Amino acid sequence: MEERNLDKAIDILTKLINGEEVGKNSGANVSLYEEYSTNAEVYDIVNRMLNRMNIKLYEYKNGLYITGGENNQVFGFSNADLRKELGLKVNRELYLCYFIMYQVITCFYTDSSGFNFTEYVKIEDIMEVVDNSLKHIIDNLEILTNNEVEENSFKTLAILWSDLPAATEETIRAAKNSKAGYIKLVLNFLISQQLMAQSEERYYLKDRAKALIENYFEESKGRLYEIIQGKEQEDATY
């Protein structure tokens, strides 16, 4: 192993971990991307080190993007971390935010195989999608058994959502007191995570988000479907 290659690989890792862009259009880091894509040894070292740290690296449109992967204790966010980041108190509020984030994805993607060419979304579009997704649960809530509502249930989310007014004032602020406020809270966080960009009232998906969505869901679909069916937890007991 050449020392120069090791240095280059460490440089790439440092930049990525610090949240800098490494890609063909990333200004100062273009040369590092060139090294990564042309030098097999650099490529190998970067990937091996990231693998050991349980960090996933995805390449998308000549750019490199990393994420904490699944259940990364060191670099991944826990629910408690996210509650703190988003200023939330209880888990049901956090899960409502997850739900909104998921619905933001569905505004741009029908399935992981490709972008559906939606250029941007507005807060009201997201509100409509969330409303529609929870509609049949909310309709059934009209007759709801009191002791049926558990903390970890979509019914809890539906109650939380349906009890919120659309907005409390004309200017939408990121807050927990309205539907629009919740969405704004989520969008601000997604912007801070470099997944989205904002221009006036329009919210665009950044390449980083596209890279992660298309690759992560594509390669993990089997495992994710198992989680959805609740199979993973069942297997874990054996």
Our CB check for another protein shows the closer of 7 and 70 to be 70
Shortest spacing between CB 157 and another protein, in angstroms = 7
Shortest spacing between CB 64 and another protein, in angstroms = 13
Which residue shows structure tokens 């966010």? 77
Q: For residues 16 and 12, what is the distance between their CA atoms, to the nearest angstrom?
A: 6
Residue 114 contacts residue 214 (beta carbons within 8 Å):
yes
Cα–Cα distances in angstroms (integers) from residue 35 to residues 20, 45, 86, 102, 148, in the given order: 16, 12, 38, 35, 57
Our CB check for another protein shows the closer of 2 and 111 to be 111
Shortest spacing between CB 97 and another protein, in angstroms = 9
Distance of CA 70 to the CA centre of its chain: 12
Cα torsion 50, 52, 54, 56 to 10°: value is: 30
Our CB check for another protein shows the closer of 41 and 85 to be 85
Shortest spacing between CB 226 and another protein, in angstroms = 10
Cα torsion 145, 148, 149, 153 to 10°: value is: -130
Our CB check for another protein shows the closer of 34 and 81 to be 81
Shortest spacing between CB 63 and another protein, in angstroms = 14
Our CB check for another protein shows the closer of 39 and 220 to be 220
